[in-house]
């Protein structure tokens, strides 16, 4: 990232209660540089500029960091190019992260990004959460993140079985989140999920509101 981009990221993270060190910003810069190189060849993100990646993916991911535990097992479902899992891991190095992604090219990138940044406690597997139960921790996960995976009811149905009691499930929604919640009521009841918080925010340069949904699982 350029210094201007680092300043934007630092400021927005700070506004949401996330303090980033120079070392953490350097790691994110290294990660994004590699992502940009791969993105030009394989279009991993669907975005066509570095600025869009910083604002729409990196900052979006960092907003969740303030609301998560600093330690525990994190499962990121449908990791794509590593958002939100890699930025969250950089913010909270005490997390033990597992990234699951179906696309082979994206899996290759994720493994390269982990090697390049030297992040420890991160594993990447290729597959789909609904078909890879045997590869996941049977004790479950303290945190599950899912960004642009599927509809909210489907996302909850796939992820909730792997969430520990009192664990946190994080999902990123747009302006229609209330409708998505209504459509998810039966799934939430079935899996003992409660909406703990809904955090509204607007990304830099955007005029529409997004919402970070944080669910917790009952006993």
Domain positions in the chain are 3-217
R_g (Cα) of the chain, nearest Å: 16
pLDDT of residue 133: 64
* 127: three-class secondary structure by DSSP: coil
Residue-wise pLDDT for 127-149, tens only, equals 998 886 677 888 999 999 999 88
* C-alpha closest to that of 196 among 166, 173, 172, 175: 166
Q: Is the pLDDT of residue 65 over 90?
A: yes
| pTM for this prediction | 0.94
Q: With 0-12 CB in 10 A as exposed, 13-18 as middle and 19+ as buried, what is 207?
A: exposed
Q: Is the pLDDT of residue 1 over 90?
A: no
Query: How far apart are alpha carbons 193 and 166 in whole angstroms?
Result: 9
Residue-wise pLDDT for 90-104, tens only, equals 999 999 999 999 999
- The pLDDT-based confidence of 211 (bands split at 50, 70, 90) is very high
- The pLDDT-based confidence of 174 (bands split at 50, 70, 90) is confident
What is the mean predicted confidence (pLDDT) over 157-170? 96
- The pLDDT-based confidence of 161 (bands split at 50, 70, 90) is very high
Eight-class DSSP state of 53: I
Which overall architecture, per CATH, does domain 3-217 show? 3-Layer(aba) Sandwich (3.40)
Query: How far apart are alpha carbons 215 and 103 in whole angstroms?
Result: 27
pLDDT of residue 31: 96
| Average pLDDT of the chain, as a whole number | 92
Q: Is the pLDDT of residue 105 over 90?
A: yes
What is the mean predicted confidence (pLDDT) over 38-58? 88
């Amino acid at each position: 990232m350029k210094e201007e981009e680092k300043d934007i990221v630092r400021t927005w993270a700070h506004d949401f209660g996330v303090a980033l060190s120079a070392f953490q910003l350097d790691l994110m810069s290294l990660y994004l540089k590699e992502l940009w190189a791969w993105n030009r060849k394989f279009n991993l993100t669907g975005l066509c500029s570095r600025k869009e990646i910083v604002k729409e993916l990196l900052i979006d991911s960092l907003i969740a960091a303030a609301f998560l535990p600093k330690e525990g097992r994190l499962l990121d479902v449908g990791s794509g190019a590593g958002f939100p899992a890699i930025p969250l891991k950089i913010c909270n190095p005490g997390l033990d992260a597992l990234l699951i992604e179906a696309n082979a090219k994206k899996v290759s990138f994720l493994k390269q990004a982990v090697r390049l940044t030297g992040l420890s406690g991160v594993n990447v597997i290729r597959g789909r959460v609904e078909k890879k139960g045997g590869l996941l921790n049977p004790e479950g996960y303290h945190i599950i993140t899912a960004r642009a995976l599927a509809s909210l009811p489907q996302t909850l149905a796939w992820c909730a079985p792997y969430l520990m009691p009192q664990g946190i499930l994080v999902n990123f929604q747009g302006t229609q989140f209330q409708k998505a919640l209504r459509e998810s009521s039966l799934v939430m009841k079935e899996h003992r999920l409660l909406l703990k918080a809904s955090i509204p925010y607007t990304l830099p340069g955007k005029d529409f509101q997004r919402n970070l949904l944080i669910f917790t699982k009952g006993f």
